[in-house]
């Protein structure tokens, strides 16, 4: 597969302090793949994600997104759904199109198609306060995908959900990813979620709080067959992958 995104020798130091968070991070992400980043809390996973999103600039090094015909729009989902409480489900999903000045019939169709895809038909006119955590996160996912981004960034998207909802959302995410030509970069704490979802798991290590900036220490391709069903989580192969990642994190 073609390389979609490359990170070359990126360092990142907080502007308002001498704290070096990332040092010499390099990685490449193939187009259309699903890459998951795991690592201890506070190691700098979200910082890397924000660098990829262009929300932060690297102190040194380079991040390159391969130019594609559709441009390089980005979709982001955070741990908290971050919907706008004053907008209905439809209005929340429509936001990225609105910002591009697209308000016509085609835009409305894309919004409805996205709402249908995430399984929220019937809730178009609901306000976020009326939705459960899982439903709100589905809206956030629809909002992140409605403008057909080439890169979908997920920052612990299911971290605030209960365990059962979380598993169901993981399966939903795979279904949606397979329906769309999008490259996914996801940060998570859950090792089993990482194995279940990823083409490749990146492990980040280091301790920026104590003077050891983080870097990618391991990369593990996950060669479980797709489409993956929930039952795969009980197989010996799955458990081996999970054990390997756990060992990598603890090194």
Partner 1 sequence: MKFLNAQPTWLMILVSFVGLLLGWHLLVVWGAYDRFILPGPVDVWRQLMIVAGDGRLLKHSLITLSEVLPGLAIGLLIAMPLGYLLAKSPLAERLLSPYLIASQAIPVIAIAPLLTIWVSSTYWARVLVATLVVFFPILINIIAGLRSAPAELYELMHSLQATRRQIFSKLELPAALPILLAGLKVGATLSVIGALVGEFVQPKSEGLGFLLVTARYQFKTDLVFVVLVTLGTIALSMYGLVSALEKHLLRWQVNK
- Closest approach of partner 1 to the CB of residue 67, in Å: 16
The C-alpha atoms of residue 165 and residue 180 are separated, in whole angstroms, by 22
Nearer Cβ to partner 1, position 84 or 179? 84
Q: Which of 43, 83 has the CB closer to partner 1?
A: 83
Nearest-approach distance from CB 243 to partner 1, in angstroms: 34
By beta-carbon proximity to partner 1, the closer residue of 75 and 208 is 75
Distance of alpha carbon 84 from alpha carbon 91, whole angstroms: 9
Cβ-in-10-Å burial (0-12, 13-18, 19+) of 177 comes to: buried
C-alpha to C-alpha distance for 215 and 197, rounded to whole angstroms: 22
**What minimum distance in Å lies between the beta carbon of 177 and partner 1?**
19
Contact 117, 176 (CB under 8 A): yes
Instruction: Give me the residues that bind partner 1 (CB under 8 A), please.
Output: 50, 53-55, 73-76, 78, 80, 82, 84-88, 95-96, 98-99, 127-130, 147, 153
Residue 62 is encoded by which pair of tokens? 């380079």
Please report how close the Cβ of residue 183 comes to partner 1 at its closest, in angstroms: 15
- CB of residue 127 to partner 1, shortest distance in Å: 4
**Measured from the CB atom, is 15 or 231 closer to partner 1?**
15
Indicate the residue among 155 and 199 with the shorter CB distance to partner 1.
Answer: 155
C-alpha dist (Å) from residue 134 to 141, 173, 183, 237, 244:
11, 12, 22, 29, 30
Query: What values do phi and psi take at 71, rounded to 5?
Result: 85, -175
Rounded to whole angstroms, how far apart are CA atoms 40 and 110?
38
Which C-beta is closer to partner 1: that of 88 or that of 190?
88
At 200, phi and psi to the nearest 5?
-145, 135
Q: How far is the CB of 146 from partner 1 (least distance, A)?
A: 11
């Amino acid at each position: 597969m073609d390389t979609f995104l490359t990170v070359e020798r990126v360092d990142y130091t907080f502007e308002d302090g001498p704290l070096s968070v990332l040092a010499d991070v390099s990685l490449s992400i193939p187009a259309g793949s699903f890459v998951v980043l795991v690592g201890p809390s506070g190691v700098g996973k979200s910082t890397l994600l924000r660098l990829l999103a262009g929300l932060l600039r690297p102190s040194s090094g380079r991040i390159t997104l391969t130019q594609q015909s559709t441009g390089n729009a980005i979709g982001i989902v955070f741990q908290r759904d971050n919907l706008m409480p004053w907008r209905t489900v439809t209005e929340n999903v429509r936001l990225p199109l609105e910002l591009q000045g697209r308000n016509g019939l085609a835009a409305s169709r894309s919004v409805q198609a996205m709402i249908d895809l995430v399984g929220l038909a019937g809730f178009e006119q609901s306000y976020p306060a009326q939705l459960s955590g899982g439903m709100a996160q589905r809206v956030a996912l629809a909002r992140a995908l409605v403008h057909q981004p080439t890169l979908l960034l997920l920052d612990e998207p299911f971290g605030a959900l209960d365990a059962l909802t979380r598993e169901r959302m993981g399966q939903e995410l795979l279904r949606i990813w397979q329906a769309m030509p999008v490259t996914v970069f996801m940060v998570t704490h859950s090792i089993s979620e990482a194995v279940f979802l990823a083409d490749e798991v990146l492990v980040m290590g280091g301790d920026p709080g104590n003077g050891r900036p983080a870097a990618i220490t391991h990369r593990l391709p996950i060669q479980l067959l797709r489409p993956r069903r929930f039952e795969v989580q009980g197989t010996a192969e799955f458990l081996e992958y999970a054990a390997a990642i756990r060992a990598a994190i603890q090194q």
